[in-house]
Amino acid sequence: MNVACGADYAGAVTIRRLCKSFGTTPVLRGIDLTVGAGSIVCLMGKSGGGKSTLLRCLNLLEQPSEGSIAIGAQTIFDGVSRLSVREVVALRQHVGMIFQSFHLFPHLTAAENVILAQTVAKRVARGAALERALRLLVTVGLSHRATAYPRQMSGGEQQRTAIARALATGPTVLLCDEPTSALDPESTRDVLNVLRALAHQGMTMLVATHELSFAREVADRIIFIDGGQIVEDGRPDQVIDHPEQPRTREFFEHVRRRIDGPLLK
Amino acid sequence: MYNPFHVDWPHYLPDIATGIRWTIEFTVVSFVLAAVWGLILALARGSRLPPVRWFSYGYTELFKNVPIITEIFIIYYGLGQVGLTLGTFSAGVLSLALFYGAYLAEIYRGALLSVPETQKEASAALGFTSFQITRHVVLPQAVRVALPGTATMLVDLLKTTSLLITIAASELMNQAQTIASETFRPMEVYIVIGAIYFVMCFPLSRLTLLIEHKLAAGVALSPMRRRTLRAIRRHNAVVDAAGAR
């Protein structure tokens, strides 16, 4: 596939006719999507619609079945050849990921989580890794929690640490898989503020989320995914307020009902 | 005044010292071998090759379900009969290592399985290779889980060295028997010997409990982590001081 390790991952994320099946069950059915460098795309849609799987294909945590994916100038999947282990490792340092349940290393403190990402994956010297880790913790507002263990932190603090950890390898693309779905409203706000700041700094981001206000305010585009296909693709106000497809309309009505509904009153 | 101690203990001190020395040697050598063998068996249990997995499973079950004394006799007397004569020390160490290897394998396997798949996934997403994942993410977490069970096995192994009396190893229990038969005071002798076993085992149990508590409290045990944590605190203190000014 002719991919060099120090290769150029800066640029658009280009997905063509991407399919993924688990066994005989198709989960992604021909996704075509180009995400320009520095743009923020929110993936919305019902659980099980394929949002997570799409994100996980982009750093090859899942091996796609068909189609192609390129990050910048690098083809990372073309359905023919496979990346070598070294190439996959290089790819993942350029494409960071945030998980719904954080997945911090529980045996290490916040700062050490961020340090390990550098010393192991990028072989950064400990001193330099420590400096950078503490700077990253400042940017996510957690310098005072540097020596806290994950179990001593709130969900929001854990997720912000996870963001710092993902940024530690210097990615150009950040994949966020429902980053606030496990959080209370206050933590959600803190995490979204951090993501918003990243967006303004030019990070390319694909965010699977149910947060309407975040999507409306931060996203350049909203992709509505259902049944493994892109049903609707457009500016936030278009997709949320004036969806063309009945499936999209139904979904957003449902989401709005849940927000305005008696549950939160 | 009634003196319950009639045995001339100072006279037997060298014998007891020899017994303690052998008991410790049997314990240390057997435990190190059992720990390594147990780790190999535990990793074999997760192997991609079915025969390797079956061997590990069969071995573990076999040794868990046969009394160790039977095993000692097979290795010392049985192998001797078919021409493979082992010395007392080799036979003793081999028996203990093979037996406790099976138990430690079970403990290690449980500990390795206790690390969630999501931990491996999160580290893979950071660009860790599978070796780095095992080394930096899985093993450090598994060790914490395996520690209590492993420590229990160490104490158990130390006590079990007393069974080597049956193959005339010169460990503590054997010395006790000699002293008892010379003095005709088994009650006194075995109580004293029991106390010596207790004095050896109890601190071990306490020590491992202490390590567990420290780990649970988040105390870094490796010097490198201690240095890192100190550096973080120092750095933050400097930043705080600068901020206060």
DSSP letters spanning chain A: ----TT----S-EEEEEEEEEETTEEEEEEEEEEE-TT-EEEEE--TTSSHHHHHHHHTTSS--SEEEEEETTEEEE-SSS---HHHHHHHHHHEEEE-TT----TTS-HHHHHHHHHHHHT---HHHHHHHHHHHHHHTT-GGGTT--GGGS-HHHHHHHHHHHHHTT--SEEEEESTTTTS-HHHHHHHHHHHHHHHHTT-EEEEE---HHHHHHH-SEEEEEETTEEEEEE-HIIIIIS-SSHHHHHHHHHHHHHHHSGGG-
A91 CA to centre of own chain: 14
Q: Which residues have CB under 8 Å from A22's CB, separation 6+?
A: none
pLDDT of residue A259: 65
pLDDT of residue A4: 44
CATH topology of domain A13-99+107-264: Rossmann fold (3.40.50)
Contact B132 A120 (CB under 8 A): yes
pLDDT of residue B2: 60
**Residue with token string 């130390």:** B158
Instruction: Judge whether A84 is closer than 8 Å to chain B, CB to CB.
Output: no
Sign of CA dihedral A236, A237, A240, A244: negative
Residues of B in contact with A90 (CB under 8 A): 127
DSSP letter for B41, please.
Answer: H
For residues A206 and A35, is the Cβ–Cβ distance under 8 A? yes
Instruction: Judge whether A122 is closer than 8 Å to chain B, CB to CB.
Output: yes
Give me A109's structure tokens. Answer: 């403190």
3-state secondary structure of B8: coil
B94-103 pLDDT, tens digit each: 999 999 999 9
3-state secondary structure of B4: coil
Per domain, the residue ranges of chain B are 9-194
**Nearest-CB residue to B127 (from A112, A115, A121):** A121
One-letter identity of residue B183:
T
Instruction: Judge whether A107 is closer than 8 Å to chain B, CB to CB.
Output: yes
Q: Tell me the whole-structure pTM to 2 decimals.
A: 0.85
B205-232 pLDDT, tens digit each: 898 888 888 888 888 888 889 999 999 9
Sign of CA dihedral A84, A87, A164, A98: negative
Cα B9 to Cα B18: distance, rounded to the nearest angstrom: 14
Rg (C-alpha) for chain A, rounded Å, is 18
Give the other-Cβ count within 10 Å of A221's Cβ: 19
A51-65 mean pLDDT: 95
A vs B: CB pairs below 8 A: 87
One-letter identity of residue B67:
P
* CA of A63 vs chain B CAs: smallest distance (Å): 13
Give me B180's structure tokens. Answer: 């008892």
Per domain, the residue ranges of chain A are 13-99+107-264
Instruction: Judge whether A146 is closer than 8 Å to chain B, CB to CB.
Output: yes
Interface confidence (ipTM) of the complex: 0.90
A200-221 pLDDT, tens digit each: 898 999 999 998 988 998 899 9
Cα separations in angstroms, A133 against A97, A156, A212, B72, B155: 17, 18, 31, 55, 42
Of the options 1.10.3720.10, 3.40.50.970, 3.40.50.150, 1.10.10.10, the CATH number for the domain spanning B9-194: 1.10.3720.10
pLDDT tens, N- to C-terminus, chain B (245 residues): 566 678 888 899 999 999 999 999 999 999 999 999 999 999 899 888 999 999 999 999 999 999 999 999 999 999 989 989 899 999 999 999 999 999 999 999 999 999 999 999 999 999 999 899 999 999 999 988 999 899 999 999 999 999 999 998 889 999 999 999 999 888 999 999 999 999 999 999 898 888 888 888 888 888 889 999 999 998 888 877 776 65
Is residue A2 predicted with pLDDT exceeding 60?
Answer: no
B72-98 pLDDT, tens digit each: 999 999 998 998 989 999 999 999 999
